[in-house]
């Protein structure tokens, strides 16, 4: 989700007498305790759960029974458990044999139609949808805020039977029973224990939180339908953006693992959901949640996803919404597909016409936005001064006598965008102009406001405020333009999309790719209005949201299409196909833009997803789980750090001796020159998944300041699934200044001899430190 909240104030819950219990245990905190999977004390117990409880029995000193402290037992995503402990109990537990690591519970946040057409998918011609059977037979597991099962996007008419391998359940709970699942939504579970322990107060009273898989916030319903929603004709947001709504893999099955609540998403609950999802039999895991970059050995999502990858599950995660700050990309483990956000070429124009004749470009999804409709001319007011945040339009900050019947200018930031409109409406204002600040520049996330409103970019905001200062009685009207497609350059990088280089692992280029994440229309629950405000009484089956949360399920759905077409491919092969076929030009044939400049590799990774080409990539870069372990050794992680991530007890000295000059077989290339190093050599191997008797020739665009040499320059494949290797030498022609960091980028592409039938492209990032 976008940084400001369409992620709502988040949410309300019925955990009965729980908070009284919590008050009595204020000294306790949730910890995740990781154990050795082949611990020396394990054989002494008849079950893993009894083994896990034995650790608590030896450390819990209070009079209560030690079992009341246990929250979860983990066995698939990690060996260990989550429990409530005091600091002294945690320190005692740390000294026991078989304890690998203890981590405090962490809070993550969710990162938040037409997009299938924009990506070149069509049900009327033989394209990626037909080649993959629309994703049939594949199961996408989504970790999010829950699901609204009655949404038409989860209708199972025409869906095949539930796959025989499925071992999941439809967990019953508040307003949710087993009949809410079907052949589309084949499973649903909820995980509350970590959240309940961490939440020191009940949720907001004006939103009902369901103690079940049911979604009361909309985010999970939206992301799940984006990944795998069925076709819904005549879908719109109160008449705007109308058309047929479809997920990326409309033939795939989906399962919801509800881990996010009003206060966020806790790592103990996330790990419990991943633990169960691995056993349930999902093929793809989609996580539109995250936080800030973490070392891999401290990152619960990285640890759980390593185990998922070992089980053949593709894990797709949002890159985060902390862009355009450098090093802000999250979920950066090399076995995760990390997804940034891009724009579509669909707009909802809503111009501001000033009474001096000027027009300011804006956008809005207020339901009054019909072609050629206008609001009446109103007096403009921008309430500033004081310290109550009136320029941001906080609720209660706008004096009624100043805004009654007027069009109010509100600066973007701090509080939610739709909440500003509600504040204006509550104070008697008639309309709103939401003005971007220097932080947001021209970024244009739209909303379904509760009053006539439009959002304008920073350049327009500067002009608007100059006009306000130039006249004693400023006046304006909003001129609506409906829905417009194809008139703007796209895709472009969303400004909020998190950027590389990776903070903890710069030797891997992140994000991997970008996908549509701005103004995405998808399914919405019936307990919430389309603005997501509790006070919004309107109801609709669809609404618009923005964020890397929305980009992530696009790629999860595309991964499902590839898994359906190529069921034996590894998660690394699926990710390679998505990365090496990505576009670096927009629909006009020009470079993808990032604001007013061409996008760099730290913004787009390998490029913008192209599902049609991803289904038939020609060559793939495959990676075995063992290779990731060797890669962790090259990062100089300790033996215990590597064990915490992989459950493998390895000697890095031995591994690196056996794999001299090792470089991970990643589809992108990241070279770092430091300490005066002038040359680097990397090795890659590619597997032919195109046609037999194929010849590929290399094309290189060398990064500035670097000489690149590739051997061999041709790869001749005789058979399908044959692998060949090549080496690349990078020779630096310059040095970084003392204390400076410098970057350059290029690309390496293997081109098929038959008129470029396949083009297998790897971006190159070079850093001097």
* Torsion angle in degrees (nearest 10) through CA of 62, 64, 68, 70: 20
DSSP state of 568: T
Burial grade of 725 (CB within 10 A; 0-12, 13-18, 19 or more): exposed
> Active site residue: 76, 502, 504, 549, which one?
549
Report residue 291 as tokens.
């936080």
- The reply to whether omega before 491 is within 30° of 0 (cis) is yes
DSSP H helices in 78-131: 87-94, 115-118, 128-131
> Is residue 387 among the annotated active site residues?
no
Residues contacting 264, CB < 8 A, separation 6+ = 10, 107, 108, 109, 195
Judge whether 23 counts as a catalytic residue. no
- Give the dihedral sign, CA 98/104/105/108: negative
Torsions phi, psi for 86 (to 5 deg): -85, 170
CB of 109 within 8 A of CB of 549? no
Q: Name 31's bridge partners.
A: 83, 104
Query: CA 327, 675, 702, 740 torsion: positive or negative?
Result: positive
- Count CA atoms closer than 13 A to 4's CA, side-chain side: 20
The active-site residue, picked from 98, 105, 144, 594, is 144
CA 641, CA 729: separation in Å to the nearest integer? 31
CA-based angle 119:576:508, to the nearest 5?
110
* Residues 208, 10 contacting (CB under 8 angstroms): no
Largest CA distance in the chain: 84
| SS3 readout for 488-543 | CCCCEECCCCCCCCCCCCCCCCCCCEEEECCCEEEECCCCCCCCCCCCCCCCCCEE
Distance in angstroms (rounded) separating the CA atoms of residues 676 and 157: 63
Which of 8, 195, 217, 219 is the catalytic position? Answer: 219
* Cα–Cα distance measured from residue 128 to residue 695, given in angstroms and rounded to the nearest whole number: 24
How many other CB atoms are there within 10 angstroms of residue 566's CB atom? 18
3-class secondary-structure state, position 557: helix
Catalytic (active site) residue 280: no
Q: What's the CA gap between 491 and 488, in Å, rounded?
A: 9
HSE (side-chain half, CA atoms, 13 Å) at 236: 14
- Tell me how far apart the alpha carbons of residues 508 and 584 are, in angstroms, rounded to a whole number: 19
Lookup: tokens for 578? 């998505």
Distance CA 628, CA 636 (A): 13
End-to-end CA distance of the chain: 33
Asked if residue 163 lies in contact with residue 251, where contact means CB atoms within 8 angstroms, the answer is no
The encoded tokens of residue 682 equal 């990397």
Q: Which residues are catalytic?
A: 144, 219, 549
């Amino acid at each position: 989700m976008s940084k400001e909240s369409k992620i709502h104030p988040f949410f309300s819950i019925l955990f009965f007498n729980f908070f009284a219990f919590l008050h009595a245990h204020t000294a306790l905190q949730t910890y995740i305790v990781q154990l050795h999977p082949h611990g020396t004390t394990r054989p002494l117990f008849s079950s893993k759960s009894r083994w896990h409880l034995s650790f608590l029995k030896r450390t819990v000193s209070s009079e209560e029974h030690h079992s009341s402290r246990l929250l979860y037992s983990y066995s698939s995503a990690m060996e260990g458990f989550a429990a409530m402990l005091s600091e002294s109990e945690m320190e005692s537990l740390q000294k026991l044999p078989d304890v690998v690591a203890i981590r405090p519970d962490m809070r993550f946040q969710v990162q938040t139609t037409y997009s299938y057409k924009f990506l070149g998918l069509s049900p009327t011609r033989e394209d990626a949808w037909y080649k993959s059977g629309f994703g049939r037979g594949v199961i996408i597991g989504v970790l999010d805020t829950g699901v609204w099962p009655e949404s038409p996007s989860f209708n199972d008419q025409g869906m095949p039977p539930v796959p025989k391998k499925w071992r999941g359940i439809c967990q019953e709970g508040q307003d949710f029973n087993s009949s809410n699942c079907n052949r589309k939504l084949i499973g649903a579970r909820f995980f509350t224990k970590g959240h309940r322990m961490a939440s020191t107060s009940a949720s907001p009273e004006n939103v009902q939180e369901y103690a079940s898989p049911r979604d009361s916030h909309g985010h999970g319903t939206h992301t799940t339908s984006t990944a795998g929603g069925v076709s819904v004709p005549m879908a719109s947001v109160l008449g705007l953006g109308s058309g047929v709504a479809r997920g990326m893999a409309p033939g795939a099955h989906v399962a919801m693992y509800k881990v996010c609540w009003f206060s966020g998403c806790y790592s103990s609950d996330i790990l419990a959901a991943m633990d169960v999802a691995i056993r349930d039999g999902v093929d793809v895991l989609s996580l539109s949640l995250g936080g800030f970059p973490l070392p891999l050995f401290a990152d619960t999502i990285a640890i759980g996803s390593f185990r998922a990858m070992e089980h053949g599950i593709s894990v797709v995660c949002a890159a985060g919404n902390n862009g355009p700050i450098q090093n802000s990309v999250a979920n950066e483990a090399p076995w995760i597909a990390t997804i940034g956000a891009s724009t579509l070429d669909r707009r909802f124009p809503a111009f501001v016409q000033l009474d001096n004749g000027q027009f300011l470009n804006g956008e809005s999804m207020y339901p009054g936005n019909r072609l050629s409709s206008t609001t009446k001319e109103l007096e403009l007011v921008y309430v500033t001064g004081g310290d109550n945040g009136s320029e941001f339009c906080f609720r209660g900050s706008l004096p009624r006598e100043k805004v009654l019947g007027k069009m109010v200018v509100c600066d973007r930031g701090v509080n939610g965008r739709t909440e500003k409109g509600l504040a204006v409406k509550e104070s008697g204002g008639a309309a709103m102009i939401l003005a971007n600040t220097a932080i947001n520049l021209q970024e244009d996330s739209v909303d379904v406001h509760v009053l006539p409103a439009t959002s304008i970019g920073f350049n327009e905001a500067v002009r608007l405020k100059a006009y306000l200062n130039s006249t004693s009685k400023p006046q304006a009207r909003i001129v609506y333009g409906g829905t417009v497609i194809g008139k703007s350059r796209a895709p472009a990088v969303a400004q909020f999309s998190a950027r590389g280089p990776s903070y903890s692992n710069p030797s891997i280029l992140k994000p991997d790719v970008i996908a549509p994440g701005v103004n995405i229309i998808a399914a919405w629950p019936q307990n919430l209005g389309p603005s997501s405000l509790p006070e919004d009484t309107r109801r609709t089956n669809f609404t618009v949201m923005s964020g890397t949360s929305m980009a992530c399920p696009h790629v999860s759905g595309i991964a499902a299409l590839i898994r359906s077409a190529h069921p034996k491919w590894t998660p690394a092969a699926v990710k390679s196909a998505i990365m090496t076929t990505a576009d670096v030009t927009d629909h006009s044939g020009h470079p993808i833009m990032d604001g007013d400049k061409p996008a760099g590799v730290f913004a787009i990774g390998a490029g913008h997803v192209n599902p049609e080409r991803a289904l038939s990539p020609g060559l793939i870069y495959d990676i075995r789980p063992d290779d990731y372990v060797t890669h962790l050794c090259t990062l100089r992680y300790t033996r215990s750090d590597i064990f915490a991530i992989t459950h493998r007890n390895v000697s890095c000295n031995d591994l690196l001796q056996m794999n001299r000059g090792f470089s991970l077989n990643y589809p992108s290339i990241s070279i770092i020159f430091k300490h005066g190093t002038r040359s680097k050599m990397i090795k890659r191997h590619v597997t032919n998944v195109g046609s037999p008797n194929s010849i590929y020739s290399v094309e290189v665009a060398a990064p500035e300041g670097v000489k690149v040499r590739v051997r061999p320059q041709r790869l001749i494949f005789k058979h399908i699934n044959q692998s060949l290797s090549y080496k690349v030498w990078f020779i630096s022609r310059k040095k970084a200044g003392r204390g400076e960091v410098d970057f350059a980028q290029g690309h390496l592409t293997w081109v098929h001899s038959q008129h470029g039938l396949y083009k297998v492209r790897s971006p190159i990032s070079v850093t001097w430190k």
